[in-house]
Each structure stands twice: as structure tokens, then as C-alpha cells.
């Protein structure tokens, strides 16, 4: 986020050469202190900028300086062309713009830096879709991106996971997040920060009113907080299971899907040859169903209350399918 802001700051200074810190802060939606820190960062990186105090002072870019890609290294060129292989820009409706930007960079960069960089597309691929996950329909994404760039409020029709039909919501958007190929809109609805799966957005209307969310932090910071809160609500339960060694690879794959973040399977061997696994899991109801399905290759040992759920589930299934 800061790198993007530094580029925007430099572009503003290239157009105006001299500007008040307060004016720049308003355009960049940060504090004047942040603008001054960014000026120091640009200066430290070799950009000829400085600040002047007093009346008529401000943030200044030396006359005649323009950015160019003549200093682009081979690694930097490869990074840019590898980035072009990703689907993110296309999802946002910016695929052609990204290709054009890279072409302009390539036209001004040293030939030895660009040579071989385009070949990165042949050897680096980004598959953002999870295994067995269907590709999402993201027709609303370009309109959401445009509304965010223009700082406008939104009215959307959205079908939540709990409802069967879309409902209208008026939002103050904060940002967009690409989470492993699934796009989410982070926005305030009636003063509360919420997330909306973009594939469930049926219609988008960009309103004339300026978006005024109370949350002013960068979207990545807000997203991490939301994600952490959701994961902590899910909780963690320690379980012990006995596993048939012949079925261990398959059962390890299944149980690994339920491990909490950072969790591991601790293994010991019993006297009868079976493996005892201890692991922290997220959803005990999924473990109970798995224990019914995988018996007798998988035997749940602890906790005792979950063993009761397994027995009850097995009895229900027997009665239902008898």
C-alpha cells in the first residue's frame, strides 16, 4: 500500500512540481505527517524532492526530473512480466491496461533487462482457484473497482449465504480483497464493517454521494482483522484418534483439511500397530461425520462428548436408511 502511495505522490509532483503538504494529504487521503515521511522516503531512494518551509513553501520536485524505466534491472523486468500472467488484473477489467503499461515499460527499459523477461509467462503460472473449486462469475467486479477509485457510495443487490433471494444494500466501500481467487468487497453497511462475496453481487449502482466510511485504515489491515476475528470464533478442539496404518495416507489428507491454522498432527504408535494421532481441529461436527464414514479404520478416542455425537450420528443414519 505504501509503495502505491509513493508512486501516486510522485505522479502528483510530476504534474504540479510544487504543492502544499495539506493539498497532497487530501488527494492521497493521509495525514500531512505521512506525506512528509513519504517525501523523506522518496528522497532516500534517489528521487530529487525536498520540502520548503514558510509562505510559498511546500513539497517540491526538482524541475526537469521525470521517472523512466531506464534503470530497470533484469529481476525487476522479470517480476513485472511474471505479474502479468496473473488473473487479478483481468478480473478487475484492467487486463488490457496492464498489458499496455508493460509494453510502455519495455519500450523504455534497457534491452538486456527486458530480454527474456517475457518468457516468464511460459514458466510461471498463477492458478488462484482452490482444488475442485468452480471459477466464480465476477461481472460486478469492474464496476466495484471503478466506484472505489472514484470514492463513491454503492447500492448493490446481494444474495447472502443464508438467503435465497438478493436484497438491496447501500454501502460505503472500503476496498477489494483477492483471497485465493475469491474476491470480496469490504464495506460499511449502516456503520458496521462487513464483507461481501463479489460472485454473489447481482447488480451494482454507483451513487453520486461520496463514500464516507468511518474505517480509514488500508483495506488489507481491515481484512486481516476481520479474518482473525472469524477464525478465532471458529475455535479449536483437541482430538485423539486411532488410525489403521494402511489407511493412514488417506485419513491424514482428510484430517489435515480440518487442522486449525498452524496446527500439526502428532503421531505415536500403539502396541497393536495402530497409530495414535493428536491434533487441534476446527469443526467437530465434520470430525464426527468423518468418524462414522471411516470406521473402523478411524476410531475417535477423545473427547468423550464427541464420541457420543459419533454414536448418535451413526444411529440416526441407521434408522434413516434402514
Q: Give the span between the Cα atoms of 259 and 282, in whole angstroms.
A: 6
Q: Give the span between the Cα atoms of 167 and 290, in whole angstroms.
A: 36
Q: Give the span between the Cα atoms of 25 and 145, in whole angstroms.
A: 22
Give the pLDDT confidence score for residue 130 in this predicted structure. 76
The rounded percent of the chain whose pLDDT value lies above 70 is: 84
| pLDDT band per the 50, 70, 90 thresholds, residue 142 | very high
Residue pair 178/223 in contact by the 8 Å Cβ criterion: no
Q: Give the span between the Cα atoms of 293 and 242, in whole angstroms.
A: 14
> Using a CB cutoff of 8 Å and minimum separation of 24, what contacts does 102-105 make?
105/69, 105/72, 105/77, 105/80
Residue 113 clears pLDDT 70, i.e. is over it: no
Q: Give the span between the Cα atoms of 171 and 157, in whole angstroms.
A: 11
Beta bridge partners, 280, equal 238
Give the pLDDT confidence score for residue 315 in this predicted structure. 94
Q: Which of 115-119, 125-129, 252-256, 293-297 has the lowest mean pLDDT?
A: 115-119
270 or 126, higher pLDDT: 270
According to the CATH classification, is domain 141-232 in 2.60.40?
A: no
Report which listed range, 70-84, 130-144, 150-164, is most confident: 150-164
118 or 285, higher pLDDT: 285
C-alpha dist (Å) from residue 32 to 25, 58, 61, 116: 5, 11, 17, 42
Q: Give the span between the Cα atoms of 299 and 243, in whole angstroms.
A: 7
Terminal-to-terminal C-alpha distance of the chain: 59
pLDDT in tens, 232-291: 776 789 999 999 999 999 999 999 999 987 889 999 999 999 999 999 998 899 999 999
What's the CATH fold of domain 237-321?
A: Alpha-Beta Plaits (3.30.70)
**Concatenated DSSP letters of 148-178:** HHHTEEEEEEE--TT-SS-EEEEEEEEEEEE
Cell numbers at 289, concatenated: 461425520
Cell numbers at 30, concatenated: 493521509
Give the pLDDT confidence score for residue 249 in this predicted structure. 95
Cell numbers at 42, concatenated: 522518496
Cell numbers at 177, concatenated: 480483497
Domain 2-61 carries which CATH code? 1.10.10.10
190-196: average pLDDT:
95
The 3-state DSSP class for residue 183 equals strand
Residue 13 clears pLDDT 80, i.e. is over it: yes
Q: Give the span between the Cα atoms of 51 and 69, in whole angstroms.
A: 25
The rounded percent of the chain whose pLDDT value lies above 90 is: 51
Pick the closest to residue 314 from 322, 247, 277, 240 (CA basis).
322
The helix or strand, by DSSP H or E, that contains position 221, with its residue range, turns out to be: helix 219-234
Q: How many CB atoms lie within 10 A of CB 118?
A: 14
Q: Which of 200-220 are b and which e, b meaning 16 or more Cβ less than 10 Å from the residue's Cβ?
A: bbeebebeeeebebebeeebe
pLDDT in tens, 56-90: 678 998 887 766 655 556 666 666 666 655 678 78
| pLDDT band per the 50, 70, 90 thresholds, residue 114 | low
Residue 87 class from Cβ within 10 Å (0-12 exposed, 13-18 middle, 19+ buried)? middle
168-178: average pLDDT:
95
Q: Model-level pTM?
A: 0.65
Residue 141 clears pLDDT 70, i.e. is over it: yes
- Residues with Cβ < 8 Å from 6, sequence gap 6 or more? 38, 41, 42
Report which listed range, 74-83, 108-117, 126-135, 261-270, is most confident: 261-270
Amino acid at each position: 500500500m505504501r509503495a502505491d502511495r509513493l508512486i501516486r505522490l510522485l505522479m502528483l509532483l510530476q504534474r504540479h512540481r510544487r504543492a502544499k503538504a495539506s493539498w497532497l494529504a487530501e488527494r492521497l487521503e493521509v495525514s500531512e505527517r505521512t506525506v512528509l515521511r513519504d517525501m523523506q522516503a522518496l528522497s532516500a531512494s534517489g528521487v530529487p524532492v525536498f520540502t520548503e518551509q514558510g509562505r510559498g513553501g511546500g513539497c517540491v520536485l526538482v524541475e526537469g526530473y521525470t521517472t523512466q524505466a531506464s534503470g530497470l534491472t533484469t529481476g525487476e523486468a522479470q517480476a513485472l512480466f511474471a505479474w502479468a500472467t496473473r488473473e487479478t488484473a483481468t478480473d478487475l477489467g484492467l487486463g488490457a491496461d496492464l498489458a499496455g503499461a508493460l509494453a510502455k515499460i519495455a519500450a523504455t527499459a534497457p534491452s538486456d533487462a527486458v530480454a527474456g523477461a517475457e518468457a516468464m509467462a511460459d514458466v510461471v503460472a498463477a492458478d488462484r482457484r482452490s482444488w475442485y473449486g468452480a471459477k466464480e462469475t465476477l461481472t460486478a467486479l469492474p464496476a466495484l473497482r471503478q466506484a472505489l477509485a472514484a470514492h463513491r457510495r454503492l447500492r448493490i443487490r446481494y444474495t447472502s449465504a443464508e438467503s435465497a433471494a438478493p436484497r438491496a444494500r447501500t454501502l460505503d466501500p472500503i476496498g477489494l480483497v483477492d483471497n485465493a481467487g475469491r474476491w470480496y468487497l469490504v464495506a460499511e453497511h449502516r456503520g458496521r464493517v462487513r464483507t461481501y462475496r463479489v460472485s454473489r453481487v447481482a447488480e451494482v449502482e454507483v451513487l453520486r454521494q461520496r463514500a464516507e466510511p468511518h474505517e480509514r485504515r488500508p483495506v488489507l489491515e481491515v481484512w486481516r482483522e476481520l479474518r482473525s476475528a472469524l477464525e478465532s470464533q471458529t475455535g479449536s478442539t483437541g482430538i485423539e484418534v486411532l488410525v489403521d496404518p494402511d489407511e493412514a495416507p488417506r485419513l491424514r489428507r482428510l484430517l489435515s483439511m480440518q487442522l486449525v491454522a498452524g496446527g500439526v498432527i502428532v503421531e505415536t504408535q500403539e502396541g497393536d500397530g495402530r497409530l495414535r494421532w493428536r491434533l487441534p481441529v476446527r469443526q467437530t461436527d465434520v470430525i464426527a461425520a468423518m468418524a462414522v464414514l471411516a470406521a473402523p479404520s478411524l476410531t475417535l478416542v477423545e473427547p468423550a462428548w464427541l464420541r457420543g455425537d459419533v454414536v448418535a450420528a451413526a444411529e440416526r443414519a441407521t434408522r434413516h436408511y434402514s
